[in-house]
């Protein structure tokens, strides 16, 4: 790596010890930034498994990477805030019969919220992470604006998880990996001999066994499983253990799919007809438009209803404090509590919570 590049500014990199954040830090150093690594300690149950992104071994790997790159290393303890803002939110939503996405809450409040405040206080000009996404500076109505774009590597793109970010955050963030395919990241790590931690981070970083975690923190109340016509098919073990679209075992001819939850009556509705999972539209609340203001509605755009799903063409229109989304083609298993993200090409317009 170059040692003579002119410094462009001070950047604090969220360093997890994994290959992505390690290469992100090395790339910034190579580009001439004054780089420091910051490891964030999140909340985890005592004795739970070695979490991919915030375990003791992850911290040790992050320290080794920082030493290899010759940059300062700091530890930011956000366990208390993470428990309150992410874990407690996750449990509240599940208790209400919804299926939350904790990463979409963690990013604006913790990874790009508390971390950004800490970095600026410590004298940083920017923060950076190993997320696969891009930020482009533009001008809208004679005012500068930061656009969030999908990454070049479609399979690794993480722009969906960043839909909660604000302009003040986007203006201070650098995503070094946005134009790189994952394969090239591994090549760079090998070229620079970075001692990164092997393996990928887990989907929900604070959970080992999903069902055991929920049974420990939420009171499970068994209830009836009923067909759309009202026929009793069996008994469930607690609404929070199930999500829309999943297969539900009832011991009879199937497969049966969960199509609806009735929280008040503690009932799961299932069907052996997958067409019952299809919906033409949905309501979306708690909208965040990344530009800072709503585009002109109604608007034709592509909408993702979950991470990993294909974006589907739809019309988004204002409906009170929420928006309505009407798809060109019915979508499978639209799930309350999940995040809907609106795209115009590779540009992330905004998104919100599916009602």
Active site positions, annotated = 106, 205
Rounded Cα distance between 115 and 62, Å, is 16
351's CB contacts (< 8 A; 6+ apart) are 163, 164, 284, 287, 288, 339, 340, 341, 342
* Cα-Cα-Cα-Cα dihedral sign, residues 169, 175, 179, 182: negative
Cis peptide before 213 (omega within 30 of 0): no
Kindly report the backbone phi and psi dihedral angles of residue 316, in degrees, each rounded to the nearest multiple of 5, phi listed first: -105, 125
**75 beta partners:** 39
Q: What is the DSSP string of 91-141?
A: HHHHHTT----HHHHHIIIIIIIIHHHHHHHTT-SEEE---SEEEEEEEET
Q: What three-state secondary structure class fits 311?
A: coil
First to last CA, the chain: 49
Q: 316, 236, 248, 318: which is closest to 277 by C-alpha? A: 248
Length of the chain: 355
CA distance 201 to 206: 11
216 Rama class: left (phi>0) / alpha (psi -120 to 50) / beta = alpha
State phi, psi for 83 to the nearest 5 degrees.
Answer: -60, -45
From 162, 182, 196, select the one nearest 69 (Cα to Cα).
Answer: 196
Give the closest residue to 269 by CA, choosing from 278, 283, 282, 256.
Answer: 256
d(CA 223, CA 221): 6
């Amino acid at each position: 790596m170059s040692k003579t590049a002119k410094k462009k500014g001070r950047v604090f990199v969220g360093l997890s010890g994994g290959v992505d954040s390690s290469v992100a830090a090395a790339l910034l150093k190579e580009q001439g930034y004054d780089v420091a690594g910051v490891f964030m300690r999140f909340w985890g149950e005592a004795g739970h498994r070695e979490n991919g992104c915030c375990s003791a071994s992850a911290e040790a790997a992050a320290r080794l990477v920082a030493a290899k790159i010759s940059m300062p290393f700091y530890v930011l303890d956000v366990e208390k805030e993470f428990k309150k803002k992410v874990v407690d939110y996750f449990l509240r939503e599940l208790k209400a019969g919804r299926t939350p996405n904790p990463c979409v809450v963690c990013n604006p409040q913790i990874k790009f919220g508390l971390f950004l405040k800490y970095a600026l206080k410590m004298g940083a000009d920017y923060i950076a992470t190993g997320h696969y996404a891009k930020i482009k500076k533009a001008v809208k109505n004679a005012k500068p604006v930061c656009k969030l774009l999908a990454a070049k590597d479609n399979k690794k793109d993480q722009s969906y998880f960043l839909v909660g970010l604000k302009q003040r955050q986007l203006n201070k963030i650098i995503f070094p990996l946005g134009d790189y395919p994952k394969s090239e990241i591994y090549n760079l790590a090998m070229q620079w001999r970075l001692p990164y931690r092997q393996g990928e981070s887990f989907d929900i970083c604070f959970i080992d066994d999903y069902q055991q975690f929920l049974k420990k923190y939420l009171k499970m109340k068994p209830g009836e499983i009923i067909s759309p016509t009202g026929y009793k098919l069996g008994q469930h073990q607690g609404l929070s253990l199930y999500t829309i679209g999943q297969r539900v075992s009832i011991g009879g001819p199937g497969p049966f799919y969960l199509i609806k939850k009735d929280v008040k009556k503690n009932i799961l509705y299932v069907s052996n007809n997958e067409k019952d999972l299809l919906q033409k539209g949905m309501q979306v609340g708690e909208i965040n438009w990344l530009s800072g203001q709503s585009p002109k509605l109604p608007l034709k755009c592509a909408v993702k209803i979950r991470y990993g799903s294909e974006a589907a063409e739809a019309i988004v229109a204002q409906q009170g404090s929420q928006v309505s989304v009407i798809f060109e083609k019915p979508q499978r298993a639209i799930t309350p509590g999940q995040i809907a993200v609106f795209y115009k090409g590779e540009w992330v317009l905004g998104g919100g919570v599916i009602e």
